[in-house]
């Protein structure tokens, strides 16, 4: 049989490749800083609720294509409060994780040959999907000093095939948190050219609750340009339940429903129930876990100040630290050596777009800060 050449040309799944370099996955010395996963289970109250609901027969049926109404209403209210704006239930579609949210939005906005503007470094699954759909990413250069993309550079890349600008903040892989001013400048660029501004805010719950991520939802015209992507996976430790969301204009939601019906039909019902319980009952738990991650980010910044360390921390936040390595070798070779000789499982910057050979991503969310001294000593030993 013959395969789609776009799929053949797409890079393999990076997490699996990195783990293929591990000599002994059972080694007690192994430090897993590879994949972005919470270090804790959902709280017992959520597990008890979901177990009782499933035993009672809930969660076994299809839902509305857009998701169960109470969850859409709760998320709309949550966003309206968090962003000091106005979001309605009709603006929300629940997806099978945030990856599906992104894929469905791309399929709704783009056809083969179209272009998306994407800042470097970029999330590898986004690159992979664009590749399989023959949509061309036009990259914004990476500034290792600020880790912030330039809206004016984006303006210069726009042409007749451009359909959207994509931002991920807090960023995967860099951990950088884009300022409200930066995001709002990108909105103005997108609006002026009739483009969508897609903002993946999977990790927005790991920004200080007092900090407003941006003011876009407070604008009367946000629906004309802004597409918000969200995930319940990290905030409520529901990675296996595959529950995310798209928040956008009802015009876009109506078209997204066609994609949803042909792929997932609906997001997993049990995951929707879990997400709803989280929104209604777990605010304090969420804040507690967010504060733990914030302290972990501070701890890893402090750890990287070691005077003997030649690796340079570029940025850190949410789940990630982006690090410049000191070698002339490729990022892939550096990481393979770190995995096999130092047993630190991490990812090379080359997985996150062009011009990233000098960088390594460390996912620190599932590694307690008590291990950071050991991580630094191993990095020093690798120099």
Contact 123, 113 (CB under 8 A): no
Q: Which of 232, 272, 240 is nearest to 60 (CA)?
A: 272
One CATH from 3.40.640.10, 3.40.50.2300, 3.40.50.1820, 3.40.50.880 for 44-282: 3.40.640.10
3-state secondary structure labels for all residues of 302-357 = HHCCCCCCCCEEEEEECCEEEEECCCCCCHHHHHHHHHHHHCEECEEHHHHCCCCC
Contact 97, 232 (CB under 8 A): no
pLDDT of residue 30: 94
pLDDT of residue 294: 92
Contact 182, 213 (CB under 8 A): no
- φ, ψ at 302 (rounded to 5°): -65, -40
pLDDT of residue 13: 86
Mean pLDDT in runs of 10 for the chain (383 residues)? 93 90 93 88 96 95 97 98 96 97 98 97 95 97 94 97 97 95 98 98 90 95 98 94 97 97 96 98 94 93 96 94 96 96 96 95 92 96 96
Contact 334, 348 (CB under 8 A): yes
pLDDT of residue 201: 97
Beta-carbon contacts of 56 under 8 Å, excluding residues fewer than 6 positions away, are none
Instruction: Domain ranges for the chain, please list them.
Output: 5-41+285-382, 44-282
* Domain made up of 5-41+285-382: CATH architecture: Alpha-Beta Complex (3.90)
pTM (whole model) above 0.85: yes
Helices within the chain (DSSP H only): 5-9, 14-20, 44-55, 69-82, 97-109, 124-132, 151-157, 180-192, 250-263, 269-281, 283-303, 331-337, 372-382
pLDDT of residue 208: 83
């Amino acid at each position: 049989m013959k395969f789609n050449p776009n799929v053949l040309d797409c890079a393999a799944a990076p997490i699996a490749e990195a783990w293929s370099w591990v000599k002994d996955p059972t080694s007690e010395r192994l430090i897993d800083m590879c994949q972005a996963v919470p270090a804790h289970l959902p709280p017992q109250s959520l597990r008890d609720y979901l177990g009782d609901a499933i035993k009672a027969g809930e969660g076994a049926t299809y839902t509305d294509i857009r998701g169960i109404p109470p969850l859409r209403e709760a998320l709309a209210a949550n966003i309206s409060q968090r962003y000091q704006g106005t979001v309605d239930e009709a603006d929300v579609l629940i997806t099978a994780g945030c990856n599906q949210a992104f894929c469905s939005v791309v399929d709704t906005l783009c056809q083969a040959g179209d272009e998306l503007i994407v800042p470097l470094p970029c999330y590898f699954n986004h690159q992979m999907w664009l590749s399989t759909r023959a949509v061309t990413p036009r990259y914004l250069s990476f500034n290792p000093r600020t880790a912030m993309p330039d809206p004016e550079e984006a303006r210069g890349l726009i042409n007749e095939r451009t359909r959207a600008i994509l931002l991920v903040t807090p960023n995967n892989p860099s951990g950088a948190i884009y300022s409200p001013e930066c995001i709002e400048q990108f909105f103005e660029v997108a609006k002026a050219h009739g483009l969508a501004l897609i903002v993946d805010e999977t990790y927005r719950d790991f920004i200080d609750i007092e900090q407003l991520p941006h003011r876009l939802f407070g604008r009367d015209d946000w629906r004309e340009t802004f597409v918000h992507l969200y995930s319940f996976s990290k905030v409520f430790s529901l990675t296996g339940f595959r529950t995310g969301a798209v928040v956008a204009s009802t015009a876009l939601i109506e078209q997204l429903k066609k994609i949803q019906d042909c792929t997932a039909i609906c997001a997993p019902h049990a995951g929707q129930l879990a997400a709803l319980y989280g929104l209604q009952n777990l605010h304090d738990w969420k804040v507690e876990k967010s504060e733990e991650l914030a302290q972990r980010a501070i701890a890893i910044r402090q750890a990287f100040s070691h005077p003997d360390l030649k690796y340079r921390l570029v940025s850190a936040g949410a789940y990630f630290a982006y690090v410049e390595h000191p070698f002339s070798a490729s990022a892939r070779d550096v990481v393979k050596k770190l995995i096999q000789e130092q047993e630190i499982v991490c990812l090379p910057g080359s997985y996150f777009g062009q011009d990233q050979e000098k960088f390594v991503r460390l996912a620190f969310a599932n590694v307690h800060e008590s291990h950071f001294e050991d991580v630094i000593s191993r990095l020093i030993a690798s120099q």
